[in-house]
Structure 1
Amino acid sequence: MTRISLKSKMVLRLSVGAALTALVGGVSMPALAQSGESRAAADADTSQNEIVVTALRRESTVQTTPMAITALTGETLTNAGVVDVLDYAKFAPSLRIIDLGPGQRRISLRGIQASGEPTVGTYFDDVALTGSVGTASDAAGRTGDFTMFDVDRVEVLRGPQGTLYGAGAMGGAIRVITNKPTQKFEGLVDAQISTTRGGDKNHAINAMVNVPLVEDLIAARAVMYRRFSGGYVDNTFLGRDNVNEAKVTGGRLTVRFTPTETFTLDASAMYEDVEAISPIWQANLGAYKNFEQVLAPNNGNSQLYSLTANWDFGPAALTSVTSYQERKTEDGFDDTWYTATFRTPGRCATVVNGGAACSPTQLTGFFDYVDSLFPMAAVVNAKVKDFAQEVRLSSTGEGAFSWTLGGFYQKRKNEGRYEDVLADAATGEIIKPLTAPAYRRRVRDELRQLAAFGEGTFAVTPELKLTAGIRYFDYDKTVGGFVDIPLPLIGAGALPPKFVDASEKGTLLKFNASWEASSDIFLYATAAQGFRPGGANSVIGLPGALTSYEADRLWNYEAGTKLQLLDRKLTLNLAAYQVDWDNIIVRGRTLDGVYSFLSNAGAARIRGLEAEAFLRPTRGLQFTLSGNYNSAKLSEDQINANITAAGRKGDRIPFVPRWTGAIGFEYTVPVSDGVDLFLRSDANYVGASYSEFRPTNVNRKKVESYTLVNARIGVDFEESNTGLYLFVNNMFDKVAINRQTQASWPSSNNTTSSPPRTIGINLRKGF
């Protein structure tokens, strides 16, 4: 029977203040013991445990890849309880997630974040996940995600990856590499139950089975999962506790066809369904307290199908990746408090009486009309379909010159519908089927991209290598919409259909030099460009001259070193970077204040230091340390001849902390033959940030710093392939806020955070 190692790999993180300024870079943690390996073999030599990555579209180890990269093995992720991007964000310096609930997560690296298309590409294997554009042309704030179970590794590539990965990777890329079918029969079941302080119970079950169908020819691997989070936010207006529950159900099926040793064909289907209520609460009422009249949905359904062919024909390898995605989302917010601000005599005069004061009878009728709209939910339903095809050819030899050439095509269609609908006053739940909405706006967004790319590396000597890359891109966008149900109360009138086109073409460049000074010292320097597509605003009635906006671009300058020290017991990777970001896509208003729309305004300069270290002083004991210092500020005012946006030169970019860091340890000890005990703990520090650019903005909120401590203790039974673990997350029950905003109406101090203290039991059984 195949042994599935259950050894836990721990990452413990805590800010170490100024000490981290001396450390800059990106380290991966050594791979955990694979199935069938003993712990002694896994611990024998860290040089044998270097993780192999494919960030450069060909295999290399973390320590010989000339970029800042964090690589996390599947066992590390499993034993740390990682299920999605929120969980593994703490493992990678400068990776930040602004979380508004499932399907509404904004991912950034190195402080590069703004409205519009994503700044970080999220990939499952070789397929980029498509974010829903919605009705605000803000796909970056609606990045898709899938639950991670049975994953080989995660690679976090920090810095622009424009030449090989294209648009959406201007800040970096996240690559989730799933386990592929093998010619072994094996399986794994992972179950847990937990309870959150002040909340309901949670449970989850994950399962994997791998089956050889035709010997040495066809194999299949299936993954299924379901998890339920009971919620911890109490709605004081409705008198309902733990309203933010979430249910996630999904799975993955991959079939591998291997007719020869040099050709592999993988067909994969992924599915995930999310039913959730927004986790937003109002900080001015107290921790985890909500005062909204509507339970806002965070629902989504994602499907991803891909066909990947790999053919190694000697001097080169050909890869073809064909993918199709569909994603439906339904999210919303309480629009009652905002709309109620129009319940005034002055608004009655504007809407009912042409500006003249309303009579008592008119005022009574007007107030009755407004009251009939409450409670009101603003709901956005969006559907995106995405087809993509990539073909690339890479050299396979060991000669002085290695290269990759490729082409890419994408066609994305997005339809969005924004509606104000009624909710049940007693329960806060949206009334379904939806009645005639009080307001409705429809939007359509279509994107077509073509690209050709190439990257080559020349070995001047076996130790000194020079790399250059280029990508040519050409995109077209068609955007438009209409308002067919107006709401005069708030000044939203009916608008006829209007569609506009925007297009752009250009090139991206990359230059890199690396020097392997010895087997333990590796140095590199990089200058690379990144970009995001521009587009056209779907703001109906906006003057034509303001409709289009251009792509924004940046240059990233970086130097780093990767070191193996103390007889390879210490791995230390360091990097320093400067990002010059120009023509930023921002959301602002016309100079007369009438329209809110996307445009290009301002620039930013981001400077930072990154570090990761791994120390194994003796067998069974390991320490990790990571940190990031990031100074992300505007270098120009966010204003042009047509738009005024919030930021001014010198302002910090919102929600980007200057300091983040982590420290951790793990100790593993055998207690009897075939039984191992391990202890794990990690502490993750996130520094303070602000919700708005301007210090003078009355709605600016300080997002306070926090430190989260997690711990785990477990026992592995080798002969029965079983593991039993007790864990606690947020051990000291900190209120860890990751986003907080403020507007002018009641119930607008919107806050999201990590859950309170959660204690649970995890059981894993392999066969």
Structure 2
Amino acid sequence: MFVQVHLSLRTQVRGAVAALLAATALGLAVTPAQAQDTATSADFVGEEIVVTATRRETGVLDVPASISVLSGELLDRQGARGFADYLANQPGIGLTDVGGGQTRIGIRGVANLTGSEYGTADSVEAVGIYLNEIPISGAGSAPDLAIYDLARVEVLKGPQGTLFGEGAMSGVVRLITNSPNFLDFEARGEASGATIKSGGDEWMVRGLINVPIISEAAALRVVGSWRRSGGFIDNVAVGEKNVNSSEHWSVRAVLGAKLGSDVSAELMYLRDDNRLDDFNDINPALGGLRQNLGEDRSTDQLFQLYALTVEANLGFADLVSASSYNKINRLHRPRFQFLGFPQETLPSQIKQTGFVQELRLVSQGDNRFDWIVGGFYRERDQSICGELDVPGGAAVLGTSDAGITRPCPVSRSPFILYRDVPNEGFNQLAFYGEASFELLPGLDLTGGARWFKEKTSYTQVLVASAPLSAINNTSFVKASVDDLIFKAGLSYRINPRILTYFTFSQGFRSGGPNLNSGIAPTIPPLFRPDTVNNYELGVKGSFLDGRVTINAAGFYTDWQDIQLLDANVVVVGGSRFGYISNQGQARIYGFDTSVAVTPTQGLDLGVSVAYVNSKLTKASATSQLLVGQELPNSPPLTFSTFAAYGTALSDNVDLNLRADFAFTDNQSPDPLVAPGVGASLGTGWRNLKDNSRLNLTAGLDFDRFGFDIFALNVLNEIPEYGANVPASGGGVIIGTPRTIGARLRVAF
């Protein structure tokens, strides 16, 4: 019965896609006389939306690119708490998790295919993640921050290499927070409680206070949140229930000031502390939401960010200076089956620091010739201190670890098999520019370029007990690379309400050193940057007095020198070691489109769909992926729709109802180690299942108070975000089951 229902739903989704394409064609046939110049999106229906995703304030329907905008007010109301909530309903986006609580994002089939939970000597993210003007993505997976009090989330699809640089080769996600209010005191907060099906309870408290310090000149805005989840996975090996409980704290303070009539500044401090008591993986062979691992696993991550943004009106242009310093301290304790002992873990202390300085000049006004020029500098240092815990290993192996010093405050075992201390330094200097020129009325030509130079240094000290003493080594790698990437495009405004465009854009991702490169000469010391060339044709517009908006785009992407894990493992002292190399190429094509409609006052409807066809076209015989295989983190079909209704029940009581439905097709898992040496996907490997998700919210708003009831994942289809091979955990990484709760809101 389940299979019949599931296939029926998939058929309905594909039927809805056909209906949407027909609706798009009909919408584009509306005559200009029936429309006016307004901008809308699925979450701002009927409002003019101004975005800054192109580094200048622009109406969303005036941006010649595929961009989605999510209302911060709506995300707050839905209790959104991370990337899975921000992006789950966005077409063309895939989400995966390698088990340690950090989300990996893929846009239009381009994602990080090799990154681990460690970050050092690793591939960086393929999506640029920004908090306001500050890049927060870098090595390893992006930190999944608990951001409350968002103004909006901007999702810009396709390579954005010229304006956003390193890592933005599949797109950019920008989290835009509300700035301090210089005029009015503000205070609001909320408290919610929920129960998770077959699991524990979840509690969340969030709030903010905004205090003007000097009227119209300075204000302080402080935002905080706390969430405790009771978990929902049982560990039958140790007899514990709901082992994957978690706790997440976040506080953000922003001091804003006007330093004269033409200069403003914001100084921000962010602290985000996220603890996972275990990971969200299950063993499907056990049935239900259960695992059977004896290891004591956990992750405790502290992320801190200090940022200063200064904006100055120079008359002919706006000057923006964005400076930031961030620190990540992470204690990570995953399972690591190296020799087959029942309780092997690789506890590691991961430290990362980063400094970024960007200066940018943006021409003012909407002129025939508009331009942006800027400079960018990034410095990043990261280190790991890791030890392989093997309880009982000394007796079985007939050896000791007496020769291994223990500088890492992470091991709980009386015996460690080896200690690994890699350190990586990275810096990048870049200059970029982009300009648009109106060739004819309504016809604009855009061009851009970015030059960058990167330097990398890397050291590793590896000390092991017998029988692995053959891998003992100290290695050092130093290298630099520079390159130039481009962007070009044409846009044509058919009338004030319809924009068409064609864009060619390039993106890149930094290379880096290979872990364990000093163990054997067959492990290359470095892997190079990989790049994408993207071709996009799109149309967007508003019709029927702004009550209908359409955004559609088709694309073709050529991904070259893909950073893949090579399965040509090197055997040293009986141990197997893989490495990253540039030995892949892929082609990706597809489309994404969205339609938003306001048929009557108070009722908003929207539907979005994306199709992505990805295929690896070239790889070595020992690649982690096979030629012809669909790329991981690239669901072929994603579909979402929503309906929202609001009405006044009385002079001081409003009713708001909303339903969101999203479908994500099955997708290839994200392998961390090679499942086979160029032969097959190996035993136990399968695609991640497709998933349908329905969220319902109903709320009452009074003068200063509000009350909501909500049901998340009503269908209780458990999303799958990743799969580990048996050596790394042997499980499927999942999302949260059905969650039902209530929320109380207050504002002053």
TM-score by length of 2: 0.87
Among 6, 17, 22, the alignment partner of 1:20 is 17
The match for 1:280 is 281
The match for 1:523 is 500
Q: Does 1:469 align with 2:448?
A: yes
The 2-side partners of 1:182 and 1:537 are apart by 48
Among 655, 660, 663, the alignment partner of 2:641 is 663
The match for 1:311 is 312
The 1-side partners of 2:185 and 2:500 are apart by 43
Cα displacement (A) at 1:280 = 1.6
| Distance change (3 Å), C-alpha of 1:51 and 1:102 | farther
Contact 2:309–2:323 at 8 Å: present in 1 too? yes
Contact 2:208–2:222 at 8 Å: present in 1 too? yes
Among 102, 117, 128, the alignment partner of 1:121 is 128
The 2-side partners of 1:129 and 1:483 are apart by 30
| Distance change (3 Å), C-alpha of 1:621 and 1:507 | same
Contact 2:567–2:624 at 8 Å: present in 1 too? no
Instruction: Output the amino acid matched with 2:152.
Output: R
The 1-side partners of 2:98 and 2:628 are apart by 27
Among 614, 620, 626, the alignment partner of 2:602 is 620
CA deviations 1:133-174 (Å, max 9, x no partner) are 4xxxxx1xx211321211111101100110000011011111
Contact 1:130–1:386 at 8 Å: present in 2 too? no
Q: Equivalences for 1:420-459 in 2 at 5 Å?
A: 420-421=388-389, 437-459=416-438
CA deviations 1:14-56 (Å, max 9, x no partner) are 973154368689x9xxxxxxxxxxxxxx99x988612100111
Contact 1:191–1:762 at 8 Å: present in 2 too? yes
| Distance change (3 Å), C-alpha of 1:675 and 1:332 | same
The 2-side partners of 1:542 and 1:634 are apart by 29
Contact 2:570–2:578 at 8 Å: present in 1 too? no
The 1-side partners of 2:20 and 2:489 are apart by 21
Q: Does 1:707 align with 2:692?
A: yes
The 2-side partners of 1:377 and 1:77 are apart by 37
CA deviations 1:170-206 (Å, max 9, x no partner) are 1111100111111210111111001101111110101
Contact 1:24–1:560 at 8 Å: present in 2 too? no
The match for 1:367 is none
More displaced 10-residue stretch of structure 1: 388-397 or 582-591:
582-591
Secondary structure of the structure 2 residue equivalent to 1:567: coil
The match for 1:740 is 723
Q: Equivalences for 1:157-196 in 2 at 5 Å?
A: 157-183=156-182, 184-196=184-196
Q: Does 1:570 align with 2:548?
A: yes
| Distance change (3 Å), C-alpha of 1:589 and 1:754 | closer
Contact 1:423–1:431 at 8 Å: present in 2 too? no
Instruction: Output the amino acid matched with 1:444.
Output: N
The match for 1:646 is 624
Q: Does 1:749 align with 2:730?
A: yes
| Distance change (3 Å), C-alpha of 1:179 and 1:46 | closer
The match for 2:365 is 397
Instruction: Output the amino acid matched with 1:189.
Output: G
| Distance change (3 Å), C-alpha of 1:545 and 1:750 | closer
The 1-side partners of 2:659 and 2:732 are apart by 27
The match for 1:348 is none
Instruction: Output the amino acid matched with 2:216.
Output: D
Percent identity reads 30
Contact 1:448–1:475 at 8 Å: present in 2 too? yes
The 2-side partners of 1:751 and 1:623 are apart by 35
Among 328, 346, 350, the alignment partner of 1:378 is 346
The match for 2:682 is 697
TM-score by length of 1: 0.85
The match for 1:677 is 655
The match for 2:202 is 202
The match for 1:217 is 217
Cα displacement (A) at 1:607 = 0.6
Cα displacement (A) at 1:638 = 3.5
The match for 1:107 is 105
Q: Equivalences for 1:34-433 in 2 at 5 Å?
A: 49-100=47-98, 103-113=101-111, 114-115=113-114, 116-131=123-138, 133=139, 139=140, 142-183=141-182, 184-276=184-276, 277-335=278-336, 339-340=339-340, 375-421=343-389
The 1-side partners of 2:194 and 2:603 are apart by 28
Secondary structure of the structure 2 residue equivalent to 1:340: coil
Cα displacement (A) at 1:665 = 0.6
The 1-side partners of 2:73 and 2:710 are apart by 16
Contact 1:24–1:610 at 8 Å: present in 2 too? no
Cα displacement (A) at 1:538 = 2.5
More displaced 10-residue stretch of structure 1: 431-440 or 212-221:
431-440
The match for 1:356 is none
The 2-side partners of 1:247 and 1:474 are apart by 40
The 2-side partners of 1:398 and 1:732 are apart by 48
Cα displacement (A) at 1:235 = 0.3
Contact 1:14–1:662 at 8 Å: present in 2 too? no
The match for 2:561 is 583
The match for 1:766 is 747
The 1-side partners of 2:654 and 2:360 are apart by 45
| Distance change (3 Å), C-alpha of 1:21 and 1:537 | farther
The 2-side partners of 1:557 and 1:418 are apart by 43
Q: Does 1:716 align with 2:696?
A: no
Secondary structure of the structure 1 residue equivalent to 2:295: coil
Cα displacement (A) at 1:532 = 0.7
Cα displacement (A) at 1:287 = 2.7
Unaligned stretches of 5+ residues in structure 1: 1-12, 28-41, 134-138, 342-373
Secondary structure of the structure 2 residue equivalent to 1:152: strand
Secondary structure of the structure 1 residue equivalent to 2:61: helix
The 2-side partners of 1:678 and 1:725 are apart by 9
The match for 1:460 is 439
Contact 1:483–1:493 at 8 Å: present in 2 too? no
| Distance change (3 Å), C-alpha of 1:24 and 1:592 | farther
Secondary structure of the structure 2 residue equivalent to 1:144: coil
Instruction: Output the amino acid matched with 1:339.
Output: L
Contact 2:125–2:137 at 8 Å: present in 1 too? no
Give the alignment's Cα RMSD to 1 decimal: 2.6
The 2-side partners of 1:22 and 1:602 are apart by 37
Instruction: Output the amino acid matched with 2:527.
Output: Y
Secondary structure of the structure 2 residue equivalent to 1:63: helix
Secondary structure of the structure 1 residue equivalent to 2:612: strand
| Distance change (3 Å), C-alpha of 1:22 and 1:532 | farther
| Distance change (3 Å), C-alpha of 1:46 and 1:110 | closer
| Distance change (3 Å), C-alpha of 1:210 and 1:649 | same
Cα displacement (A) at 1:696 = 5.0
The 1-side partners of 2:64 and 2:540 are apart by 9
Among 475, 500, 512, the alignment partner of 2:489 is 512
Cα displacement (A) at 1:735 = 2.4
Work out the number of aligned pairs and report it. 684
Secondary structure of the structure 1 residue equivalent to 2:608: strand
Secondary structure of the structure 1 residue equivalent to 2:339: helix
Secondary structure of the structure 2 residue equivalent to 1:378: coil
Secondary structure of the structure 2 residue equivalent to 1:488: coil
The 2-side partners of 1:171 and 1:487 are apart by 43
| Distance change (3 Å), C-alpha of 1:655 and 1:395 | closer
The 1-side partners of 2:391 and 2:201 are apart by 27
The 2-side partners of 1:323 and 1:733 are apart by 41
Cα displacement (A) at 1:492 = 6.1
Unaligned stretches of 5+ residues in structure 2: 1-9, 25-39, 115-122, 394-408
